[in-house]
A and B are shown apart, each in its own frame.
Chain A
Amino acid sequence: MSESIYEVLAQDTADGEVALVGSVRAPDAGLALTFAREIFYRRGRCERIGVVPREAVCWSDEAELTERNRDRAYRTPAFFVRARRDRAAEIPG
């Protein structure tokens, strides 16, 4: 019998984001969902859960992503606060 690893996705609130919470090993998606429910959500609030075969997820290259966003502070609101402070520091008196 073939089996694979399924990543478990969960959405805690209807207006919240879906997060990857862990993984299960199962022969098919149906059982993977059953295991996920029993292992990750025996209590507490959860809108819905899902499973996806691990090999179906394409992950980015982390280093590349970090490198790309290294000099992009100018795209963030905090940039203006710092820019104002820096300008104020430059004005003498």
Chain B
Amino acid sequence: MDLQAFEQHIAAGGAVDLHDPMPDEYREQVRRIMGFQCLAEIVGGLMFAEWVPRTPGLLRKMMLTAKVQDEMGHAFYLLRTCEDLGLRRDQIVEDYLCGKSKLLNVFHYRIESWHEWPIAALVQNSAALVQFKSLVRTSFRPYARALKRILKEESFHYHNALDLTRTIAGHGGEHRAAVQAGLEKWWPHVLAYFGPPDSDSEHNRRNLRWRLKVDSNDTLRQRWLDWIVPVLESLDLRLPDPALARGGDGRWTYTEPDWDGVRDVIRNGGPATAYWHDRVRDNYESHGWVRDLVYGEQPAA
């Protein structure tokens, strides 16, 4: 397909559905972005799945199970479309296991206590909601449809996390202190989750031009701060960054994440990189018999 005509179509607000003609580069980039989010949903699900057995109370346990199932469901929406675009579904996990694809920065850490997970989920979910609410205006319609479904369920996750954070912090004393410590641990990671300030690279310009990215990283980060700061204040939590302030123009200033450090963690690993890699591999291998039973031998790629 002619790239120039395609770009004019997108620039005029046009969109692309699965069976519409699209340039190979666009198809490849859509597949890459959806595959990347798919992997994030899988690891994100595992991050919370390990808290299900340790959750007190049957209702809370069922709610957390629902969240974990949702994350896997989100991964499914995305991989189903990746398959329609010609990607073998197992490849999303296999590329990660062999080191070909990298995880988001937040998945190089681990939630280490019961008191930590609700606040970690609260800041993570709100950040993901900000990102998906922007990306739902993407030019690729199957992705937009998947994000619409994902947004509804993420909203439940957010309210679940908020309710639990409020409940635990409400017990005061060491409980509140543990929530505060969780916030201090996750704050810089989630601030960095949106990525470094947009570079003027052709790669970035192209994603924006093709509407595979809708807003700049800094715009999304500002939106997240607009939302989450009042929420954290309403929970009487202390904001971890002393430099955090809102200017007269409404824009937030904050301590810039250590981007070299973030890049290093993504490239070379952080405290829980090996842990998550092992969990994904264990799950993938131990469930191999289900795939074999349902789908039979996978055709070679």
Which residues of A approach B to under 8 Å, CB–CB?
A: 1, 3, 5, 22-27, 31, 38-40, 42-43, 59
Contacts and interface: CB of A to CB of B under 8 A. Distances in A.
Contacts of A5: 84
A3 B295 contact: yes
Contacts of A1: 295-297
B20 to A, nearest CB: 9
Given A1-B296, A3-B295, A25-B89, 14 more contacts: A1-B295, A3-B296, A22-B77, A22-B149, A24-B80, A25-B80, A25-B83, A26-B294, A27-B296, A31-B294, A40-B149, A42-B69, A42-B70, A59-B19
Nearest to A24: B80
Interface of B: 19, 66, 69-70, 73, 76-77, 80, 83-84, 89, 145-146, 149, 294-297
A26 B19 CA distance: 21
Contact of A39 (B66, B76, B89): B76
Contacts of A59: 19
Contact of A42 (B66, B77, B294): B66
A41 B97 CA distance: 30
A43 B66 contact: yes
Nearest to A42: B69
A22 B66 contact: no
State the majority secondary structure of interface residues on B. helix
Contacts of B77: 22, 39
27 contacts: A1-B295, A1-B296, A1-B297, A3-B295, A3-B296, A5-B84, A22-B77, A22-B145, A22-B146, A22-B149, A23-B84, A25-B89, A25-B295, A26-B294, A27-B294, A27-B295, A38-B69, A38-B73, A39-B73, A39-B76, A39-B77, A40-B149, A42-B66, A42-B69, A42-B70, A42-B73, A43-B66
B90 to A, nearest CB: 12
Contacts of A24: 80
Which residue among B66, B80, B145, B297 has the maximum number of chain A CB atoms within 10 Å of its CB? B80
Contacts of A23: 80, 84
Nearest to A31: B294
A28 to B, nearest CB: 10
B95 to A, nearest CB: 19
A24 B69 CA distance: 16
Contacts of B297: 1
A3 B146 CA distance: 23
A22 to B, nearest CB: 7
A31 to B, nearest CB: 7
Contacts of A31: 294
A73 B293 CA distance: 54
A27 B296 CA distance: 9
B38 to A, nearest CB: 13
Nearest to B20: A62
A25 B19 CA distance: 18
8 closest Cβ pairs, A-B complex: A1-B296, A39-B73, A39-B76, A3-B295, A23-B80, A42-B69, A27-B294, A22-B77
A89 to B, nearest CB: 30
Contacts of B19: 59
Which residue among B66, B69, B89, B294 has the maximum number of chain A CB atoms within 10 Å of its CB? B294
